């Protein structure tokens, strides 16, 4: 008998992303699930996280769920507000950011991300929003996490456009270590020694076959494959309080 799931795929991803954050870290946060993951970590094991939002807010303590990267609730009660140039130059490029969150339409075998275009750049089949801050976050944050549903079209062998760098040869010259975990609704992918994303963990009840079927390249399995702990009642209660209308947790 299969018990009814007690959590949604979005909740599962947010909880697992929160667990990747360590107390005391400086995190470059995006809206949506990264914001929920960071605020959950702040309320559980990492009360000394510093949340930086690319709009120029440092040490945010949002009192409501931010609905855009420039939500006024990020400003009220923050430790500092600065210009975008300062955020990218003095904080990110300078090397003060420990963790950055990235997203995109396609994630390739070596962690390259495409957030720009599907098809030919000059004659786009689907035009996506573009880099925003992700090109620099991927390069300069000490490590990066990605949260995304696990579907074949999101995990092609190669991306159509390299909006941000994964683990190609150019990575050696960069201060950041690139994508260190991809949190999906099936499990966690992590780079192996060659930089290829491999299956490092499965969520409870998920099989290797499911993960392989949802990945666009022959997915390798880490020798120390683990199973993640199911979200706890406390984690779920805190998370749901952060998004009471289930805008991102649906």
Partner 1 sequence: MPKLTDLASAIATHVHDGDLLYLAGFTHLIPFAAGHEIIRQGRRDLTLARATPDIIYDQMAAAGCARKIIFSYMGNPGVGSLHVLRRLVESGALEWEEYSHFGMITRLAAAAAGLPFLPLRPTGAESLAAVNPAYKTIPDPYGGPDVVALPALHPDVAILHVQRADVHGNAHLWGILGEQKEAAFAARRVILTAEEIVDEDVIRRDPNRTLIPGLIVTAVCHVPHAAHPSYAQGYYDRDNAFYLEWDALSQDEVRLHAWLEEWVYALPDRAAYWAKLGSAAHARLTPAPRPSGEVDYGGYA
Element (H, E) at 197: strand 197-202
Minimal distance in Å, beta carbon 234 to partner 1? Answer: 28
Element (H, E) at 135: helix 134-140
* Residue whose tokens read 């998004």: 243
Map residues 60-99 to x or -, x wherever contact with partner 1 holds by CB under 8 A.
-------xxxxxx-xxx----xxxxx--xx--xx------
In this structure, the number of other CB atoms found within 10 A of the CB of residue 229 comes to: 13
Contact between 165 and partner 1 by CB under 8 A: the answer reads yes
Examine the residue annotation and report whether 11 is marked as an active-site residue of this protein: no
Separation CA 58–CA 12 (nearest Å) = 27
Count of CA atoms in the C-beta half-sphere (13 A) of 136? 17
Q: Is 31 in the site for partner 1 (CB under 8 A)?
A: yes
Rank residues 138 and 211 by Cβ distance to partner 1 and give the closer one: 138
* Pair 163, 134: CB distance under 8 Å: yes
Distance CA 161, CA 156 (A): 12
- Cβ proximity of 38 and 15 under 8 Å: no
Q: Shortest gap between Cβ of 74 and partner 1 (angstroms)?
A: 8
Smallest separation (angstroms) from partner 1 to the CB of 84? 5
Please report how close the Cβ of residue 180 comes to partner 1 at its closest, in angstroms.
16
Q: Is residue 244 involved in binding partner 1 (CB under 8 A)?
A: no
Q: What does the binding site for partner 1 look like in residue numbers (CB under 8 A)?
A: 31-32, 54-57, 67-72, 74-76, 81-85, 88-89, 92-93, 116, 121-136, 138-140, 161-165, 168, 170-171, 173-174
What residues act catalytically? 54
């Amino acid at each position: 008998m299969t018990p009814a799931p007690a959590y949604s795929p979005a909740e599962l991803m947010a909880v697992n992303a929160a667990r990747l954050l360590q107390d005391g870290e400086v995190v470059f946060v995006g809206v949506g699930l990264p914001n929920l993951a960071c605020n959950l970590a702040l309320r559980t094991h990492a009360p000394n996280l510093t949340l930086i939002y690319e709009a120029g807010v440092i040490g945010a303590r949002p009192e409501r769920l931010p609905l855009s990267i420039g939500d006024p609730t990020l400003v009220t009660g923050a430790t500092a507000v600065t210009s975008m140039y300062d955020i990218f130059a003095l904080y990110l490029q300078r090397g003060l950011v420990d963790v950055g969150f990235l997203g995109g339409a396609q994630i390739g075998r070596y962690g390259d991300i495409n957030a720009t275009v599907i098809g030919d750049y000059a004659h786009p089949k689907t035009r996506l929003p573009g880099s925003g801050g992700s090109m620099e976050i991927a390069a300069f944050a000490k490590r990066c996490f990605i949260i995304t549903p696990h579907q074949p079209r999101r995990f092609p062998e190669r991306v159509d456009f390299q909006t941000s760098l994964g683990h190609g040869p150019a990575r050696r010259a960069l201060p950041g270590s690139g994508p260190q975990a991809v949190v999906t609704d099936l499990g966690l992918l992590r780079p192996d020694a060659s930089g290829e994303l491999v299956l490092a963990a499965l969520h409870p009840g998920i099989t290797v076959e499911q993960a392989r079927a949802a990945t666009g390249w022959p997915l390798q399995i880490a020798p120390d494959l683990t199973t993640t702990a199911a979200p706890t009642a406390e984690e779920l209660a805190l998370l749901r309080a952060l998004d009471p209308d289930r805008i991102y947790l649906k």
